[in-house]
Amino acid sequence: MIWKDRYKLGVTLIDEQHQELFTRVSDFVEVLRSSVPWEQRVEKVNETLNFMKDYVVTHFHDEEKYQKQIGYPEFAAHKKIHNDMVKYVAEVASQYERDGYNEQLMQQFAGKLLAWLINHVASEDQKVADFVRKGVVEDE
Amino acid sequence: MNNPLYAPFFNATRDVFKLMLDLSNISDKPLLDKDVSAQDSKINIEIGIIGDLQGKVIYHFPKQTSLEMVKIMSGMEFSEIDDFVTSALGEIANIISGNVMSTLSVQKISCDILSPHILNETGDTTEINYEFESGMQICTDIGSVDLNIILNTK
C-alpha cells in the first residue's frame, strides 16, 4: 500500500495519521499474505487488528473535530461513513474472535479495508481539503 | 431505449479508477457478445439497486485485470484470485455504485445499493425481463472490465 503526496490534506495531524494508517494496513496485509503457516502469523495479525480498532476511532475523532472546527458542510455525511466503518470493524473483530481466529474472514476483511482506505483518503477526505482551498480562494 | 445509468456508471468507474488506481487512459464501448471471452476466468460481482430504479449492475473483472488492480493498491504481487482479491474488488464495485447513487440523488432520483454479492464463474443470473439492459466494456491500460446494467423504472 503506497502513500502518495497527493493524498495530503495540508493538516499536519491528519496527514500524519493517514500515513500511519497506510503503514499499519500495509504491515497487516504483508503479514496476512506471507507464506508462513497461519498459526505463526495469527499473533501478529491479532496485534495489528487490535491496534487498528483503536487507532481508527482516534483518527476519525480527530478528523471530525477538525471538520467541525472549519464548519465543513458535509460533516454529518462524513461522520456517518466513519461510524459505518467503525461498526464494520467491530463486527468483524467480534466474529473473528467468535470463530476462533479464522483466516478466511481476515483475508476478506483486509481486501475490503485496503480498497476502502485508499478511496476514503484519496476521495472523501479530499473533499474536506477542497472545501478549505475554496474558502481560502473566496476569502482573498 | 437508452439505459439511464450507462453514462453515470461509466463516469463513476472512470473517476474511481483514476483516483484509486492512477489509471488515466480509460474509454468505454458497448459490450458485444464477441467481446465476452469465456476463456479468461473472471470475478463476477453483483450490486443490487433498490428505490426509484430497481435492478442490478454486474461487474465482470477478468483475472489478470483483477490481479493488476490489487497489485496497484497494495504494492504487492498476487498470482491467484482468492478471498482477499475478491473482497477488494467487491469494495471497488461498491464504491463505484455508491458514487452513482449519489449522482442520481442530485437529480432527485432516490436509490440505494445492496451489499456486493459474488456470483458464480459465468456470472449468470436469473432470467427476468428488464426494461433496460445494456453492457459496457471499460478499457484501461491494465485490461478491461465489463459492466452489465439491468433495471426497471418503478
In a domain, A58, yes or no: yes
ipTM above 0.95, yes or no: no
Domain count along chain A: 1
**Amino acid letter at B3?**
N
Using alpha carbons, list the distances in angstroms from residue B66 to B9, B93, B111, B144: 19, 12, 28, 10
The residue among A74, A80, A77 whose CA lies nearest residue A128 is A74
In a domain, A56, yes or no: yes
The residue among B131, B133, B136 whose CA lies nearest residue B152 is B131
In a domain, B99, yes or no: yes
In a domain, A138, yes or no: no
- Domain span holding position A33: 11-132
Alpha carbon of B90: minimum distance to chain A alpha carbons (Å)? 7
Q: Is the CB of B32 inside 8 Å of chain A's CB atoms?
A: no
In a domain, A26, yes or no: yes
In a domain, A108, yes or no: yes
In a domain, B19, yes or no: yes
Alpha carbon of B70: minimum distance to chain A alpha carbons (Å)? 9
Which of B79, B81, B84 best tests the A interface by mutation, with the highest count of A CBs <10 A? B84
In a domain, B17, yes or no: yes
Q: Are B151 and B53 in contact (CB under 8 A)?
A: yes
In a domain, B135, yes or no: yes
Domain count along chain B: 1
Backbone φ and ψ for B119, nearest 5 degrees, come out as -95, 175
CATH (domain of A90): 1.20.120.50
- Domain span holding position B35: 6-122+129-153
What confidence tens digit (pLDDT) does each residue in A45-101 have?
Answer: 998 888 888 889 999 999 999 999 999 999 999 999 999 999 999 999 999 999 999
In a domain, B1, yes or no: no
**Of residues B31 and A138, more confidently modeled:** B31
Instruction: Note down pLDDT in tens along chain B; length 154 residues.
Output: 577 888 999 999 999 999 999 999 999 988 876 566 555 688 999 999 999 989 999 999 999 999 999 999 999 999 999 999 999 999 999 999 999 999 999 889 899 999 999 987 665 555 667 788 889 999 999 999 999 999 887 6
> What length does chain A have?
140
In a domain, A118, yes or no: yes
CATH (domain of B88): 3.40.1550.10
The residue behind cell 475554496 is A134
In a domain, A3, yes or no: no
In a domain, A5, yes or no: no
With a CB cutoff of 8 Å and minimum separation 6, the contacts of A24 are A48, A51, A52, A55
In a domain, B63, yes or no: yes
With a CB cutoff of 8 Å and minimum separation 6, the contacts of B134 are B3, B6, B30, B31, B148, B149
Q: Are A3 and A22 in contact (CB under 8 A)?
A: yes
Q: What sign does the CA torsion over B97, B99, B100, B105 have?
A: positive
Strand partners, B55: B49, B151
The residue behind cell 507464506 is A35
With a CB cutoff of 8 Å and minimum separation 6, the contacts of A44 are A31
CB spacing of B19 vs A29 below 8 angstroms: no
User: What residues in chain A have their Cβ under 8 A from chain B's Cβ atoms?
Assistant: 1-2, 26, 29-30, 32-33, 104, 107-112, 114-116, 118-119, 122-123
